[in-house]
Amino acid sequence: MKPVIRRIGYGLGALVVIAVVAAVAAVAAVAVYIMSQRILGATMAIVVQPITVPTDSASIARGRHLARAIGKCADCHGDDLGGTTVFDVAPIGRWTSANLTPGGAAANRTDAEIAHALRHGVDPKGRKLFMMPSYEYSYFSEPDLAAVIAYLRSLPAVDRRREPLTVGPVARALMVAGALPMLDANRIDHSMPIPDRATGRPDG
């Protein structure tokens, strides 16, 4: 076989290998996307329980302490709790937080729905909240959870629209592999009785 023809054959063989690898990678990417969408889109049926939220200054002050010192809400929602971009790296995604003030979506939620999101990590439609550390709030007593909501209701309204939240291919692959547990609703014991006394930040 002539050297030129041999080289052409090698080149064609390499192209075939590259095409096969690319096809396998594309199929894998589609599979990861589908599986991660199932994880992100899964819903959970939990009955929303009523809660009585106080309005006195002592309860609001208690709620501020719990939200900021214990729950660390400002770490993700910004110092004014009006929502912010927590993380923005293309392959992983752009993770944004909700506006917790009366100027955001919380204004259209009942106290019971907010408590539901805090304690169970699920929105009113049963969708699991991404990046919401509800596992920690699931250990809050009823009065403490009510105090947090009282504090959120007392905040000055921040007029800030939430930027779309995206989950990139690397984060999706990690989620499918179980290496990125960003849905606290999956790790909470939703049948656990509500604690009857004040609690601290849980371990784990």
The pTM score is: 0.80
Residue 96's pLDDT band (cuts 50, 70, 90) = very high
The full set of domain ranges for the chain reads 57-186
- Provide the mean pLDDT of the chain: 85
Give per-residue pLDDT as tens, 130-185. 999 999 899 899 999 999 999 999 999 999 999 899 998 888 888 888 888 889 99
Q: Which pLDDT value is given to residue 86? A: 92
Q: At what angle do helices 142-154 and 57-65 cross, to 10 degrees?
A: 100
pLDDT of 9-36, one tens digit each? Answer: 545 555 555 655 555 556 567 787 888 8
Residues 128 and 137: their CA atoms lie apart, in Å, by: 15
pLDDT of residue 45: 87
Domain 57-186 falls under CATH 1.10.3470 = no
Residue type, 91: P
| Residue 38 confidence (pLDDT) above 50 | yes
